[in-house]
């Protein structure tokens, strides 16, 4: 038999067997029935404290925490609300991270009881399993974003992912083509239908999807400019009657830094004009099979080129040039390195590459600036500590009197 004991100004708190239980009134529902939130604990003081905290939450207008909601269920719900707020490619990445890592590791935990210790334990388990620091960084970023939404909704009091220990990510120095290697590669691809794409990717450090998404209407031969506005990418096929798991899309670049204007040299303009002639010939040959998307580097039928297919093609071209296996992304790294080697200021390189900020460019390519830093140090050291250079004596004009 339960024994009820209620203190002054307290909601119903009573002992039921070896447990103490309590309830807080949440008002009345649409059917006129009273709604109550039930709480329990080992001691009366524990229940009183839970009642107090719940009243504080209600006083702030926040929703009542659902103690039964698991992390996995919340993550699924969070993903359902993301379409329209993030790109399809980003949504694909979030879904994969949740499915492969976050739900298996944390999905069964109650959302309101998830702790920093449990989250840190997942990151440690991933390190032990051999995952790289950058992969763990991505997992943490996705969980942090999701729990940020839970915090805004009042479902949790704090974002434990943000409080978890971030992995230490060390930037790896990628391979870069030397000037001689770059020339060999360009000699090999000259005349190939994708040769100008390789050239532009190397000169401007273009991302693979950006290069494949270049549009003819963004090319101005008179102004000698080429604007980057779109990218080709492969995403999950969400169509209900889809026969394939993925599909190619041409997506408009959304950030201001990624939409950028490239300044072309006369040689690059001429290369694009020659490519346009070959492009028109392919279009005529394809006839009614041609599907026009306005792309500068489509397939032979005008459709978007598959980024992975281009990667395989590029590797073959690099091997034919005697360079071995290379990936298109290494063209981007090589382009940035060559720009910096020619003395291009870091902020200009950052704009050409379309980085979100100059700090990203510095993190990735800062090691290439050692020569500039050394020269700057020598200059200031020479000015402050070095000997003054001897001034050459003035030569008196012929016939002029020398003064002592």
Triad 284, 316, 367: Cα angle to 5°: 115
pLDDT digits (tens, 9 = 90+) for 316-374: 999 999 999 999 999 999 999 889 888 888 899 899 999 888 888 887 777 676 655 56
Q: Give the separation between CA 136 and CA 142, rounded to whole angstroms.
A: 10
Q: What CA–CA distances, in Å, run from 164 to 122, 140, 141?
A: 10, 8, 11
Confidence of residue 65 (pLDDT cuts 50, 70, 90): low
pLDDT digits (tens, 9 = 90+) for 81-90: 998 888 888 9
pLDDT at 400 (0 to 100): 46
pLDDT at 399 (0 to 100): 46
HEC readout, 310-375: HHHHHHHHHHHCCCCCCCCHHHHHHHHHHHHHCCCCHHHHHHHHCCCCHHHHHHHHHHHHHHHHHH
| Count of structural domains within the chain | 3
Do the domain assignments include residue 398? no
Same domain for 123 and 77 = yes
pLDDT digits (tens, 9 = 90+) for 38-55: 778 889 898 888 888 878
Same domain for 336 and 289 = yes
Do the domain assignments include residue 231? yes
Do the domain assignments include residue 373? no
Give mean pLDDT, residues 266-285: 96
Same domain for 220 and 284 = yes
Q: In sequence order, what are the residues at sequence separation of 6 or more whose Cβ sits closer than 8 angstroms to the Cβ of residue 352? A: 204, 205, 260, 262, 339
Do the domain assignments include residue 388? no
Do the domain assignments include residue 64? no
For 198, counting Cβ atoms within 10 Å of its Cβ (0-12 exposed, 13-18 middle, 19+ buried), the class is: buried
Confidence of residue 232 (pLDDT cuts 50, 70, 90): very high
Say which CATH number the domain at 276 has: 1.10.443.10
Same domain for 247 and 338 = yes
Decide if 15 contacts 26 (C-beta within 8 A).
no
Q: In sequence order, what are the residues at sequence separation of 6 or more whose Cβ sits closer than 8 angstroms to the Cβ of residue 73? A: 111
Range of the domain at 87: 71-163
Query: 161 or 381, which is more confident?
Result: 161
Same domain for 327 and 183 = yes
Same domain for 142 and 17 = no
Q: Is residue 278 classed as helix, strand or coil in its secondary structure?
A: helix
Domain's final residue, options 20, 37, 59: 59
Same domain for 278 and 230 = yes
Domain's final residue, options 163, 194, 212: 163
Q: Give the separation between CA 294 and CA 328, rounded to whole angstroms.
A: 22
Confidence of residue 151 (pLDDT cuts 50, 70, 90): confident
In the chain, count H helices and then E strands.
Answer: 16, 9
The DSSP bridge partners found for residue 3 are: 15
Same domain for 217 and 268 = yes
pLDDT digits (tens, 9 = 90+) for 236-269: 888 777 778 899 999 999 888 899 999 999 999 9
Q: In sequence order, what are the residues at sequence separation of 6 or more whose Cβ sits closer than 8 angstroms to the Cβ of residue 236? A: 88, 92, 95, 245, 246
Token code pair at residue 365: 């390519």
In the DSSP assignment, the letter for residue 342 is: T
Same domain for 349 and 271 = yes
Do the domain assignments include residue 170? no
Say which CATH number the domain at 145 has: 1.10.150.130
Q: What are phi and psi of 139, to 5 degrees?
A: -60, -45
Domain's final residue, options 59, 81, 99: 59
Which residue's entry shows tokens 């440690």? Answer: 124
């Amino acid at each position: 038999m339960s024994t009820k004991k209620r203190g002054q100004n307290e909601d119903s708190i009573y002992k039921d067997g070896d447990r103490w239980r309590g309830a807080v009134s949440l008002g009345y529902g649409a059917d006129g029935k009273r709604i109550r939130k039930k709480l329990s604990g080992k001691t009366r003081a524990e229940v009183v404290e839970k009642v107090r905290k719940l009243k504080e939450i209600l006083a702030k207008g926040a929703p009542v925490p659902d103690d039964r909601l698991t992390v996995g269920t919340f993550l699924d719900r969070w993903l359902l609300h993301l379409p329209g707020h993030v790109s399809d490619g980003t949504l694909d990445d979030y879904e994969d991270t949740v499915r492969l890592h976050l739900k298996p590791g944390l999905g069964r935990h109650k959302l309101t009881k998830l702790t920093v210790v449990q989250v840190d334990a997942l990151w440690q388990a991933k390190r032990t399993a051999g995952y790289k620091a950058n992969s763990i960084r991505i997992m943490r970023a996705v969980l942090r974003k999701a729990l940020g939404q839970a915090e805004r909704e009042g479902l949790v009091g704090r974002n434990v992912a943000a409080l978890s220990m971030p992995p230490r990510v060390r930037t790896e120095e990628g391979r870069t083509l030397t000037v001689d290697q770059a020339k060999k590669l360009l000699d090999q691809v000259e005349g190939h239908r994708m040769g100008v794409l390789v050239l532009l990717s190397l000169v401007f450090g273009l991302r693979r999807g950006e290069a494949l998404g270049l549009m003819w209407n963004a090319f101005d031969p008179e102004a000698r400019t080429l604007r980057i506005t779109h990218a080709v990418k492969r995403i999950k096929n969400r169509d209900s009657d889809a026969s394939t798991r993925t599909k190619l899309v041409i997506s408009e670049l959304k950030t201001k830094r990624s939409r950028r204007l490239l300044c072309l040299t006369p040689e690059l303009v001429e290369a694009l004009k020659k490519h346009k002639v070959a492009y028109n010939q392919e279009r005529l040959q394809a006839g009614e099979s041609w599907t026009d998307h306005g792309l500068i580097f489509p397939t032979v039928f005008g459709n978007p080129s598959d980024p992975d297919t281009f990667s395989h093609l590029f590797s073959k071209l690099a091997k034919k040039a005697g360079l071995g296996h290379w990936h298109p992304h290494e063209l981007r790294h090589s382009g940035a390195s060559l720009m910096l080697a020619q003395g291009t200021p870091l902020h200009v390189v950052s704009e050409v590459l379309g980085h979100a900020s100059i700090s990203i460019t510095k993190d990735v390519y800062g090691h290439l600036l050692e020569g500039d830093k050394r020269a700057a140090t020598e200059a200031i050291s020479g000015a402050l500590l070095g000997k003054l250079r001897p001034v050459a004596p003035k030569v008196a004009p012929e016939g002029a009197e020398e003064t002592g």
